[in-house]
Structure 1
Amino acid sequence: MIYKPYGYLSQFQSNSTQQKNKRFLGELHNFPKDTMSIGRLDEKSEGLLFLTTDGKLSDYINSQKVEKEYYALVDGDISQEAIKQLSEGVEIGFEGKKYQTKSCKVFKLNTLPNLPQRSKKIRDDRHGPTSWVSITLNEGKFRQVRKMTSAVGFPTLRLVRVRIGNIQLNSMQIGDVIEVKNSFF
């Protein structure tokens, strides 16, 4: 498992010439041949990412059987109404069509999460209030959490995946890699 840093793609090498100035996970560690990420975090997202050479494990973790929890720093003091909308599901765009997200667990964090400082500065409260929310999903569409928070009027400023199933970031630091055995699921 790895704490994927902000600014990296969840892959190991470039698939096109358009990505030649991008950063890839392979720069962070000497991973075994044929290592792949299980699921993805977009370039601007960070946090817990599993890596494997086992396709069956990848399929299981990507299935809707395994929860993924995210902490999202949103622009504004998120309202209870917005939290209710998020938890019941909202309409987002996905692959050029409208998509209704499934119900999920959402709550506002009462204290700041204990996360490492991000490499790129995030705007501060001088530009208006912000708030942190926890969003736990069993699905994972492209940029889903960002699209969900925008749909209720509170765009995401920072997104960190903090848990997959029962495995948490805990005290991992940005870029840390920890080898684990498959028996943890």
Structure 2
Amino acid sequence: MIILFNKPFNVVCQFSPHDSPNPDNRHATLKDFIPIPDVYAAGRLDTDSEGLLILTDDGALQHRLSHPKHKEIKTYWVQVEGAPSDEALQPLRVGVDLGDFITQPAEVSVMNEPAGIWLRNPPIRERKAIPTTWLQIKISEGKNRQVRRMTAKVGFPTLRLIRYAIGRYTLDGIANGEYKVLTA
């Protein structure tokens, strides 16, 4: 079984409750959205990221989708602060040194705001004097906070990050906070 979940902002990619000494700081978990037992996430999304998360009960599939050696392409829609030129994005296309590793080359292009995108709660911070730009970024890696670190490194901090696709699986037709079950 494969579950495609459109993870909302501020949801933790685990089924057990997030431990916090303050119950007011508890984040929603996958259990709050997916009442299906014995499925596990194939990869993760940070709490402050949104979009496609694949869950499955198939361990081999989970490994193939999440392990870097399989080079599964992940497509992100990224709203950044500022208006980067093509030249400013070029370092992302050749790989940037993030200190602990150098990224593989990414496919990067400026895009229009995605059609039918849901409102984020809470909304991103916007400044009147600084424009924002949407980028489509495709990578085969997926290290901790990699896309955010990449855009910050080239001077355009990420304001909103939505994973649109993993390989052939996409968010198409799945509302934010909803999921779709696929059978093998």
- How does the TM-score come out when normalised to structure 2? 0.89
- Counterpart of 1:10 (choices 4, 9, 13) is 13
- Counterpart in 2 of 1:55? 59
Q: Which AA in structure 2 matches 1:7?
A: N
Alignment of 1:1-185 (within 5 A): 1-14=4-17, 16-17=19-20, 21-32=26-37, 34-63=38-67, 64-93=70-99, 98-109=100-111, 111-114=112-115, 115-124=117-126, 126-182=128-184
For residues 72 and 18 of structure 1, do their structure 2 counterparts lie closer, same or farther at Cα, with a shift above 3 Å needed?
A: farther
User: Matched residues in 1 for 2:160 and 2:18: separation?
Assistant: 26
Q: Cα deviation per residue 1:46-81 (whole Å; 9 max; x = unaligned)?
A: 001101121110111113331100010000001212
> Which secondary structure does the structure 2 equivalent of 1:136 belong to?
strand
Percent identity between matched residues is 37
User: Matched residues in 2 for 1:67 and 1:48: separation?
Assistant: 13
Q: Which AA in structure 2 matches 1:36?
A: Y
- How does the TM-score come out when normalised to structure 1? 0.89
Q: Which AA in structure 1 matches 2:96?
A: V
For residues 27 and 83 of structure 1, do their structure 2 counterparts lie closer, same or farther at Cα, with a shift above 3 Å needed?
A: same
Task: Kindly indicate whether the alpha-carbon contact (under 8 Å) linking 2:12 and 2:18 is maintained by their aligned counterparts in 1.
Answer: no
Q: Which runs of 5+ in 2 are unaligned?
A: none
Question: Once the 2 structures are TM-superposed, how far is the Cα of residue 18 of structure 1 from its aligned partner?
Answer: 5.7
Corresponding residue pairs, total: 176
Q: Cα deviation per residue 1:9-33 (whole Å; 9 max; x = unaligned)?
A: 111113645696122011013122x
Q: CA RMSD in A?
A: 1.7
Q: Which AA in structure 2 matches 1:113?
A: P
> Which secondary structure does the structure 1 equivalent of 2:53 belong to?
strand
Question: Once the 2 structures are TM-superposed, how far is the Cα of residue 148 of structure 1 from its aligned partner?
Answer: 0.3
Q: Which AA in structure 1 matches 2:79?
A: L
Question: Once the 2 structures are TM-superposed, how far is the Cα of residue 166 of structure 1 from its aligned partner?
Answer: 1.2
Q: Which AA in structure 2 matches 1:162?
A: Y
